[in-house]
């Protein structure tokens, strides 16, 4: 009986309280991307970061190696072409989710691939 009461209370709290610490905001249009992400440094570490410019350019570093490229919006996805140093990176479209505050998740292959988390500054 006691376990059942605790389970009901826990379920009620999880349903009724807003999920502030783990709020997710799927960015599925260019205007929202421009407003919330463009111009900010999006970093995994000091040596791995990107910055998307309003004109569609990408600059940054991956493990300290220069990254350059172009981004564009297609459907509900952020897409990019890039080079890491002299090595071309294949064109790819990714799903972008804000994870509350300044945290960002990129999910490869239109949301079906691996996830990569970043902090925005």
- Give the model confidence (pLDDT) of 51-87 as tens digits: 999 999 999 999 999 999 999 999 999 999 999 999 9
Q: What are the extents of the domains in the chain?
A: 21-120
The whole-model pTM stands at 0.77
- At residue 14, the pLDDT reads 35
Provide the H-helix boundaries in 17-106.
Answer: 30-36
- Asked whether residue 13 carries a pLDDT value surpassing 60, the answer given is no
Between the CA of residue 3 and those of 7, 8, 16, 63, 103, what are the distances in Å?
Answer: 6, 9, 20, 50, 36
- Would you call 84 helix, strand, or coil by DSSP? strand
**Contact (CB, 8 A) for 89 and 69:** yes
- At residue 24, the pLDDT reads 84
């Amino acid at each position: 009986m006691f376990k059942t009461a605790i389970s009901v209370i826990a379920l009620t709290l999880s349903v009724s309280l807003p999920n502030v610490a783990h709020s997710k905001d799927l960015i599925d249009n260019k205007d929202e991307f421009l407003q919330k992400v463009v111009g900010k440094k999006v970093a995994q570490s000091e040596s791995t970061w990107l910055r998307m410019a309003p004109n569609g350019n990408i600059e940054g570093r991956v493990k300290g190696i220069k990254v350059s490229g172009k981004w564009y919006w297609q459907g509900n996805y952020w897409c990019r072409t890039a080079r890491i140093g002299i090595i071309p990176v294949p064109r790819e479209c990714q799903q972008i989710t804000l994870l509350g505050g300044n945290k960002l998740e990129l999910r490869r292959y239109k949301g079906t691939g691996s996830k990569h988390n970043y902090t925005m500054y």
